[in-house]
Chains A and B, each alone.
Chain A
Amino acid sequence: MNDFFAFLYETLSYLNTFSDDMYNTNAYVPTGLSSVAISLAGMTIYYYLINHPRLNRWFHWFGMSLILAVINFGIAWIMSDKALFALYSEQGQEMPYGYEIFTFSLINAVWTLVFNFVFSMIIKWWSRNCDHTPF
């Protein structure tokens, strides 16, 4: 699973030692799983709990997607920062990443948009009011 998420994240941008540290600490997995779970839960809520005829245009879906992407941006930030801070603390060093954490979080947000789309295509068909959303 670590390899799978590493492939996802590093395909978009390989960030040298940051990516290696993430891989070696297995930090991709909880971030990736959280993102997938949040994306799935968010889309399920959109299609089956909100499921509202006034919120079923493509831009409503996109708005929901952006919210989930922002949430997962924050989660990636917190989780990667926590994992790498712990790694470097053990070594008695200061964590050297800042820009990399931002980039990784952004990549996670982009993947969240992709997850949202994929989950939408799978689950939308049984939604009463949103089965034509985003198209």
Chain B
Amino acid sequence: MNKLYVIGIGGTGSRVLKSLTMLLAAGVKINASEIVPIIIDPDLAAGDLERAVSHIRNYCKVYDALDHNTASSNTFFGTKINTSLIPSLRIPVKNTADVAFKDFIGLALMKDDKANYNANHALASILFSERNLDSTMEVGFKGNPNIGSVVLNQFSSSKEFKDLAEAVKKDDRIFIISSIFGGTGAAGFPLLAKEIRKEKSKDENAALQNVPIGAVTVLPYFDVKADENSEIDSTPFFSKTKAALSYYKKNLNEVNVMYYIGDKPSNLYANSEGGAEQRNDAHFVELAAALAIIDFAQYGDADFPVHEGKLQHSSIYKEFGIKNEAKQITFGDLDETTNLIVKKPLTQFTLFCKYLNEQINDSLKQPWALKHKFDENFMTSAFYRSNLKAVKDAYIEWLSEMSANSRAFTPFLLAENKSNVFALIKDEKPKKSLIGKSNYSLFDDVLNDKQRNLNASASQPQLFMELFHAATQKLVKSKFRM
């Protein structure tokens, strides 16, 4: 596959994109030459969107500083995330700032010749409640897909969407992330899928119409606190989900592979209609949704014949499951296939991040640092101090949030434990070392060993990442047989 365009809609879309970014930083492999992330969210100030965009940008800066030649064995930051098509990463939803929905649809203008409200007005009044009509949309659709489906109808006319349509080539794919129980995602996903499959005139690029589409729709996995001042209420999450599923069953024929992911809501998020306060902690369901993207990329092109916007095979439907019903999920609770994808890269990258947090400042006199000049200058370089550190902090924050959430994904013991560094994986005993070195002295020992194999002509960021990848690879092999 060439490029995989991953379009995240709404807050869930942003959070899943964030999870995907963290997985790619850790070196989880995806069968695509590059990922093109795009976010559709009218709430430009949404905390989740801001975080996702910031993490993606920092990922790209780290990626750009590395060499990525074929001789390199480093898989950290191994996949290109391309933001050049839509530098803002966002397809804007126009005319939603400070506009009430009733003004957006021109409710006041729905009058007949005699200035009486006409049938359109009556219909709008049936379809939308007073509260819907008075609702403003600068922070999204507040759990109202009936509003979203009207407003989002116009995003295909944006320059960004047209650029996307031009950019998509044969061999590319599109993956759409949405939630089914909210407002923006639930409304935007079917619209977007239909827009992509729309028949194009002959002179237009037909690749978009026939592009294989994968999609994950996230079923309810959290509740929000009741707040009478908020338009968001989690009580109808399930009824809305049922209604949407029923709609998808009858009307959604555009998607080649459809992933459904959800969980029994056991956690209660703060009730935020949007804006900077809409910043939900990372959740395992979002990680599972990101794994759907990786799964979609594994399919061969022959699996998805599409002609003139029509699927030639029926859609594939997939769900995600874990092996054990655990409230605190560890690697032991995941299916073997999931572990094959995530366990080793996540363990390696977590070890790397913990070393950077807990040890590196005390090890700058080690041969690995002295020989390759990983000194104060390197530590204060933009690559290390700004970009890599930002991704590392985001990654640890992501893991911490998932482990504190409910249901928790808590495969690692993240607290500093310098006297037992390799007691890292929960419920897994590391193998004892026989060479008289343990903890971070063993880590330094391996770094000192691996630095001798480095190609000194590579750039410093490349050497740094390659060294730590090789060292953590050896450590997880010797300690955990991975």
A21 within 8 A of B: no
Say whether B418 faces chain A, with CB atoms less than 8 Å apart. no
Q: Which of A57-102 contact B (CB under 8 A)?
A: 57
Question: Which residues of A sit under 8 angstroms from B445, Cβ to Cβ?
Answer: 52-53, 128-129
Q: B113: shortest Cβ distance to chain A, in Å?
A: 88
Is B172 part of the binding interface, using a Cβ–Cβ cutoff of 8 Å?
Answer: no
Expressed in whole angstroms, the minimum distance between the Cβ of A126 and any Cβ of chain B is 10
Interface-lining segment among B282-290, B377-385, B389-397, B436-444: B436-444
Q: Is the CB of A53 within 8 A of B371?
A: no
SS class of chain A's interface: helix, strand, loop or mixed?
Answer: loop
Query: Roughly how many angstroms separate A56 CA and B447 CA in the complex, as a whole number?
Result: 14
Query: How does the 8 Å CB contact mask read for A115-130 relative to B, with 1 for contact and 0 for none?
Result: 0000000000000111
- B305 in the interface, Cβ–Cβ < 8 Å? no
With both chains docked as a complex, state the minimum distance between the C-beta of A85 and any C-beta of chain B, in angstroms: 42
Residue of B nearest to A131 (CB): B367
Closest to B443 in A: A53
CB-defined contacts of A57 to chain B, threshold 8 Å: 365
Residues of A within 8 A of B444 (CB): 53-54, 129
Question: DSSP class of B's interface residues: helix, strand, loop or mixed?
Answer: helix
Contact A56 B366 (CB under 8 A): yes
Query: Is B449 engaged at the interface, CB distance under 8 Å to the other chain?
Result: yes
Which range holds the interface residue count of chain B? Answer: 10 to 19
A53–B444 alpha-carbon span in the complex (Å): 6
B122 / chain A contacts, CB cutoff of 8 Å: none
The answer on a CB contact under 8 Å between B441 and A54 is yes
Contacts of B370 in A (CB 8 A): 132
Cβ of B205 under 8 Å from chain A = no
Contact residues on A (Cβ < 8 Å of other chain), bracket: 10 to 19
Residues of B contacting A129 with CB < 8 Å? 366-367, 444-445, 448
Bound-state Cα–Cα, A131 to B369, Å: 12
CA distance A130 to B449 in the complex (A): 11
- Return the chain A residue nearest B450 by Cβ: A128
Task: Give which listed residue, B363, B441, B449, contacts A128 with CB less than 8 A.
Answer: B449
Q: How far is the CA of A11 from the CA of B441 in the complex (A)?
A: 43
Which residues does chain B contribute within 8 Å of A56, judged by CB atoms? 365-367
Distance between A127 CB and nearest chain B CB, rounded to angstroms: 9
Closest residue on chain B to residue A126 by CB atoms: B452
Cα(A85)–Cα(B113), bound, Å:
134
How far does the alpha carbon of A57 sit from the alpha carbon of B441 in the complex, in Å?
Answer: 14
Interface residues of A in 33-52 (CB under 8 A from B): 52
A15 to B444, alpha carbons, bound, how many Å?
A: 49
> For the complex, what is the distance from the CA of A132 to the CA of B444, rounded to whole Å?
14
Given A129-B367, A129-B444, A132-B367, the answer on whether A53 and B449 have CB atoms closer than 8 Å is no
Decide: B436 and A52 in contact? CB cutoff 8 A.
yes
Known: A129-B444, A129-B448, A132-B371. A53 touches B366 (CB 8 A): yes
20 A-B pairs, CB-CB below 8 angstroms?
A: A52-B436, A52-B445, A53-B363, A53-B366, A53-B437, A53-B441, A53-B445, A53-B448, A54-B444, A56-B367, A128-B452, A129-B366, A129-B367, A129-B444, A129-B448, A130-B367, A131-B367, A132-B365, A132-B367, A132-B370
Starting from the known contacts A54-B441, A128-B452, A132-B365, 16 additional A-B residue pairs (CB-CB under 8 Å) come to: A52-B436, A52-B437, A52-B445, A53-B441, A53-B444, A53-B448, A56-B365, A56-B366, A56-B367, A128-B445, A128-B448, A128-B449, A129-B367, A130-B367, A132-B367, A132-B371
Partner-A contacts on B (CB < 8 A) = 363, 365-367, 370-371, 436-437, 441, 444-445, 448-449, 452
* Closest 3 pairs between A and B when the two form their complex, measured CB to CB: A53-B444, A129-B448, A54-B441
